[in-house]
Structure 1
Amino acid sequence: MALRHSTLVDSLSEAASIKQNNRVYDLRADGADVITLSLGEAFFDIPTPSFDELGPAAHHYSHSRGVPLLRQKLAKYHEEGSGTPVDPDREIMITAGSKAAVFMALTALVEPGDEVIVPEPLWVSYPDQVRLCRGIPVTVPWGGTVEDIAARVTPRTRAVVINNPHNPTGRRLTAAELRRLHELADEHGLALIADEVYSEFVPDHEPFVSTGAFDPDREHTVICNSMSKNFGISGWRVGYLIAGEGLIEQVTKLQQHLVTCAPTILCQYLAENFEAVLASTRPQIHAMVERRGRVAAALAARGVECLPGDSTFYLFASLGRSSLGSTEFAEELLSRYRVSVVAGAAYGASCEGFIRVSIGAEPEDRLLRGVRAICDLIDETSTGAVR
C-alpha cells in the first residue's frame, strides 16, 4: 500500500528555476552542450580552500546561532553597509543558506490564515514557503507601487516580503519606497522581511541602501542575506538572518530542530578568511554587473526590452511580439537551440510575457550566442512571422 502524502506538500509545485536546471544537468550528463542562462548563481574564480589550519573543532557542531567569529564579522559587515549596529550575540543567526532564513522567519511569524504580501515578479519560493506556514500569499502584479502594496493590507496581513536588489529584474528600491514600507509596517503592525541576497551586486561605487537602515532598533524588520550568493559560493549554503533579539530566539529554536547549525567547517573558514574572500570576489562582482549591462544592450539592439534594473546578474526580458507563452518559449528554446532560461510565469501570474536570463554561469561569447537564440526565436514566433 502506497504511503499517504501530506495534502499540503502534495499541493506545492517544484521550484521552477531549480527544476529547469536539473533538466540542464541531465542533458549535460548525456553529452549535450547547453548554454545555461537559467542558473541563479555567479561563477567566479574562487581559490580552492584549504581547511588544514582550522583545527579539529571545525569538523564538529558549533553554536546553533553560528560560529561566533563569523557572526562578529557579519555584524561588522552589515553595520558598515547599513550604518546600523548589530549585536552578534543576540541579533544574528547563521543558517544553511538564505532560503532557510526566509522560511524560518515566516514560520516564526505566520499563523494559519495570516496573509503575506509578495510583489511580483516574485522569487519562486516565496508563495510556497508562505503556504507551508499555513499562510496565504497575496501577490501584487508587476509594475505595482508601494501604494499598491498598501492597498492590499487587511486585518489578516502579517508580513510583506521584499527582494532588494530584485531577482529577476535587478531593480533596487529607492529610499522613499523603503521609508513608505516602514510606515506601513509601523501603522499596521507588520513584519517587513527583506531578502537582500544580491546586496553586493550593485554598480561599482554606488551604495546599497539596506532595508535595515530605516529601522535601526529592528522593531519590525528581518534581514535575510547570503554569503553563498553574494560571494559566488552558492554550493556552500551559508546564509544569515538579522532581526530583533526576540525573533532571533524563535528562529534559533527552529534551527536547533531542523539543522542544528550551519556547516561548521565552511563557516569557520569564512570567518578566518572573510576579508580575503571579499577582496577576491568584489572585482569579479563589478565585472559581472558591467557584463550585465552589455548583455542588456545586445538584447535591446534586437528590440527585446527588459524590465528596469541595474543590479544582480539577471535580466527579465520581455517576449514582446512572440506568440508563445513563457513556458512554451523556454521549452522551445531548450529543445531547438539548447539554451536554457526560466519561464516568467514562475515569477507570478502577471509575468507570463517574460523570461529570466541569468548571465552568471557562462562566458560572454556563449552568453551572446544565447541572446541571439532568444531573439531569433522571438522573431520566428512573432505574430505575422513566416513559419
Structure 2
Amino acid sequence: MAPLSPSVLVDSIGEAASIKQNNLVYELQADGADIITLSLGEAFFDVPAPSFEGLTPAAHHYSHTRGVPLLRHKLAKYHESGSGTPVDPDCEIMVTAGSKSALFMTLAAILEPGDEVIIPEPLWVSYPDQVRLCRGIPVSLPWHATVDDIAARVTARTRAIIVNNPHNPTGRRLSDDELRTLHVLAETHGLVLIADEVYSEFVPGGDPFVSASVFDPDKRHTVVCNSMSKNFGISGWRVGYVIAHESLIRQLAKLQQHLVTCAPTILCHYLAENFEQILAHTRPQIQQVVERRNRVAEAFAARGVTSLPGDSTFYLFPSLGSSRLDSTEFADELLRRHRVSTVAGISYGASCDRFVRVSVGAEPEDRLLRGVEAICDLIEATSTAEETA
C-alpha cells in the first residue's frame, strides 16, 4: 500500500526552523554531546514546582472555552495595569493553548483565500506559514524597511499587518510614533493589526512597555496575542491568551471549541490561584536575563560584531560580517566545529541571510560568552577579508 500523501498545501510548509534546530540539539545531547545551546526560544527560570493540592475538582475537567473565569479576570487586570487599556474579562479575552494557537486562530478567523498579510522582517518563523495554512499570502518587507514602507505594500488584497513587539530576534521595541503610524494605516485601509506581544515583560527595568492596544482602546482593529508561557518562564505549559473585540472573540471561541476545546484546565486553575506569586518570583529573573542579554551584546561589539538594534527580549541578531558563509552554512559549521547551536538568519526572512539568532535564556553566562567567542572566531576564520590578506 502506498504511503498516505499530504495535501499540496501542507506539503509546501517547511518545519519551524528554530524547533527543527533544537530537536537536533536534543538528539545530540541524548548521545552525550555537550552543546552550548543559543538556539532555544525560552528562558530557564527557577520556577517552583507546581502543587495541585487544594485546587477545586473542576480543575481536572473541561473549562469554559474562553478560559477559567478567574484566570481571565487576572489577565484582564494584568493587561490593564500595564497598558491602561481596559479589557472585559467576560467577552474580550480568551485563554489559549499557547500564543501560537492564538495567532493561528486569529488568522483563520479574518482571512479569505488570497488575502495578503504584511510581515516586516526579521519575522518570527511561523508567521508566513501560518498565513499560508489559512490560505493567505504573506508579504514581507526587508529588515531595513521602516513602518512608513509598509504603506507602499498595502493593496486591495491586504487584510492584516503582523508586528512582534518586543521583537524576536532583534530585541527592538516599536516607538509610540511607529505604533501610531500602524494604527493610522489600519484605520485608513480597514486592516487588522495583529500585535504579538509575548515578550512584553522582557524590557529593561524601569522602562514601560507600550502595548499596541494603547492606541486602540476600543479594539476596533487591534488584536493582541500574549503568553504566560514566555512571561512567566513556563514555556512548556502552553498557556497564552488573545485580547480582541468581543465580536472576534466569539469567532475565535468557535475555532477553539473545534480544535482543543479549551486551554489546559488544571494549569490554568493553578496559574489563576498563584498569579501574583509566580509573577513576583519571575520578574526579578526576567530582569537578570535582559541585563545578561545586553552584556552579551557588548561582548559581541567588543569583538567587532554588530547586532541589529534592540535592548529587550532574550535574543540578539548578530551580523556575520565578512564571513563567506551564508547563515545556514554558518550555523551548521558552528555546531559541527564548536558545538554551539544558533538559528540561521534566513529562517527570519529572505533579507536576513547575513545574521544568526542568538538566545541567552538557556545557558549560564560563562557558557554564553564561550558561545560568543566561538561565533566571532568562526566569522574571522571564514572572513573573505582574511582570505584576501
TM-score range, shorter chain: over 0.9
Show the counterpart of 1:42: 43
Distance 1:149 1:217 in 2: 24
Show the counterpart of 2:323: 322
| Alignment partner of 1:5 is 2:22 | no
Show the counterpart of 1:20: 21
| Alignment partner of 1:276 is 2:277 | yes
Q: CA RMSD in A?
A: 0.8
Cα deviation, residue 143, structure 1: 1.3
**C-alpha distance after superposition, 1:317-361 (max 9, x if no partner):** 000011100000000000111000000000000000000000000
| Alignment partner of 1:170 is 2:171 | yes
Cα deviation, residue 19, structure 1: 0.2
Identical counterparts, % of pairs: 76
Cα deviation, residue 4, structure 1: 2.1
**C-alpha distance after superposition, 1:210-255 (max 9, x if no partner):** 0000000000000000000111100000000000000000000000
| TM-score, normalisation: structure 1 | 0.99
2:283 maps to a residue whose letter is R
Cα deviation, residue 37, structure 1: 0.1
1:271 maps to a residue whose letter is A
Cα deviation, residue 386, structure 1: 5.4
**C-alpha distance after superposition, 1:6-49 (max 9, x if no partner):** 10000001000000000000000000000000000000001111
Task: Map 1:254-265 onto structure 2 (within 5 A).
Answer: 254-265=255-266
Distance 1:56 1:95 in 2: 21
Show the counterpart of 2:297: 296
| Alignment partner of 1:221 is 2:222 | yes
Distance 2:64 2:95 in 1: 10
Partner secondary structure for residue 194 of structure 1: strand
Show the counterpart of 1:137: 138
Cα deviation, residue 57, structure 1: 1.2
Asked whether the 8 Å contact 2:59–2:269 carries over to 1, the reply is yes
1:243 maps to a residue whose letter is A
Show the counterpart of 2:207: 206
Distance 2:372 2:86 in 1: 43
Segments of 4+ in structure 1 off by > 4 A? none
Distance 2:285 2:168 in 1: 19
* Matched length: 387
Show the counterpart of 1:110: 111
1:84 maps to a residue whose letter is T
Distance 1:143 1:200 in 2: 26
Unaligned runs of 5+ in 1: none
Task: After superposing the two structures, state which structure 1 stretch, 375-384 or 254-263, moved more.
Answer: 375-384
| Alignment partner of 1:80 is 2:81 | yes
Distance 1:386 1:122 in 2: 33
| TM-score, normalisation: structure 2 | 0.99
Partner secondary structure for residue 317 of structure 1: coil
Distance 1:197 1:55 in 2: 29
Show the counterpart of 1:343: 344
Partner secondary structure for residue 61 of structure 1: coil
